[in-house]
Amino acid sequence: MEDKRVWPLVGRTAELRTLTEAVARPDLGGVVVAGPAGVGRTRLAREAITRLAALGHPTSWATGSRSAAVIPLGALLPLAPLGAAETGRLFAQLVERFSEPAGKRPVLAVDDTHLLDGASAALVHQLAAHTRTFVISTVRQGPRPPDVVTALWKEGLALRLDLRPLGDDEMDLLLEGGLGGPPDVVTGRTLRRLAAGNPLVLRELVQAGLDHGGLRRGDGPWHLRGRMRVTDRLADLIEAQMQADDPDVLEVLEVLACAEPLGQPALERLTGNSAVVRAERQGLVVVESSGARHLIRLAIPAYGEVLRARMPRARSRAIWARLAERLAAAPRRRADD
């Protein structure tokens, strides 16, 4: 059952202030909000648009997607005048729409800019560089955005805000605000650990707990009974967030789900260096270093919960067999290797 809870915006006061104040700077064409999936890029942009609209700025919203990217200007078609069909004419009409000199500065938010087609990306750059339009664009860590989008901050046309995961205190505030009351100590610690500072994952973990009835509130704080179960909704969300379309990267994630943390040499013997590098670049794994020793684990523990829940037993047995074989054949430099 869908729970209609209102989750507060937590830990983004400075970033929101930067966004709303930057509109007044004529030397800036926009702000690029970057960060890993689920960290709150879209939520921050939505909040900024709401506040700027309340101040009288004309606002518009567009969203990049893989399906829209197969159509020139696909992400921006909902903002286009009716009747325009040819790409060049449509491009010109959209530039004209956002070039009106009168009134407060128009603001265009483009979510998931890294998924834009070439024409849409060029239009975003054109608006930020050559019109009064202030462009708020969100970019996910990992996938390389179009060059003209990268140019926004490289050429100084836009500020770049990199969103970090939330800290424990911020996650506690978010959890209490979303639940309408505090969890007990163990429940709060469990949910924080699984979400690893990711607001969207925390929200979906709570929803999963409510759906299966394990997360309940009596006369006192909220309490999670037993282990967190992986619901279909939670699994779908996590899989979409991971976007592990690369089978080699998926193998890295599956191996870690079975046996994290692993030393970097051991993991690379199983999956290859390039796959590990790509997984790290996409923000799916983290490397923890201690001297010359490097341990690799999943960036968000909830990823492991979902991967293990959906992994066929034959697959997990095969991973364990390969892991045992490779580790037995490898020399051990330390007793805990």
Domain boundary among 204, 229, 254: 229
299: in domain: yes
**Is residue 128, in this structure, part of any structural domain at all?**
yes
Rounded Cα gap, residues 194 and 207, in angstroms: 14
DSSP-derived letter for residue 9 is P
- In the sheet with 134-140, reading across from the earlier edge strand, the strands are 59-63, 107-111, 134-140, 30-35, 158-162
Residue 42 and residue 114 in one domain: yes
Residues 214 and 138 in one domain: no
| 180 and 157 co-located in one domain | no
Residues 211 and 231 sit within 8 Å (Cβ to Cβ) = yes
Answer whether 207's CB lies under 8 Å from 3's CB: yes
Q: Which pLDDT belongs to residue 335?
A: 46
Q: Are 81 and 35 in contact (CB under 8 A)?
A: no
Residue 93: its pLDDT value, please?
Answer: 85
Q: Is 68 among the domain residues?
A: yes
Q: Which of 142, 162, 182 is the last residue of a domain?
A: 162
Instruction: Answer yes or no: do 175 and 155 share one domain.
Output: no
Token couple for 154: 């490289």
Distance CA(4)–CA(11), nearest Å, equals 22
Task: Say yes or no: 176 and 149 in one domain.
Answer: no
Written as six digits, the tokens of 281 are 């670049």
Supply the CATH number for residue 31's domain: 3.40.50.300
Same structural domain, 23 and 146: yes
Mean pLDDT, contiguous 10-residue spans, the chain (337 residues): 76 96 95 94 97 96 92 88 73 84 89 94 93 95 84 92 96 94 95 96 94 89 90 89 84 94 92 93 89 90 94 93 80 55
Q: Is residue 258 part of a domain?
A: yes
pLDDT at 198: 96
In a domain, 2, yes or no: no
Note down the domain range covering 53.
13-162
Q: Are residues 225 and 249 in the same domain?
A: no
Given a contact cutoff of 8 angstroms between Cβ atoms, the answer to whether 24 and 129 are in contact is no
Among candidates 61, 64, 34, which has minimal Cα distance to 47? 61
The answer to whether residues 262 and 215 belong to one domain is no
Q: Tell me if 265 is assigned to some domain.
A: yes
Total domains present in the chain: 3
Residues 101 and 25 in one domain: yes
pLDDT of residue 81: 76
DSSP strand E in 17-116: where? 30-35, 59-63, 107-111
| Whether residues 176 and 145 fall in one domain | no
CA distance 152 to 305: 38
Using the 3D structure, point to which of 162, 183, 214 is the last residue of a domain.
162
Q: 143 and 36: one domain?
A: yes
What is the distance between the alpha carbons of residues 284 and 276, in angstroms, rounded to a whole number?
A: 10
pLDDT at position 333, please? 58
User: For the whole model, what pTM was predicted?
Assistant: 0.88
* Residues 19 and 145 placed together within one structural domain of the fold: yes
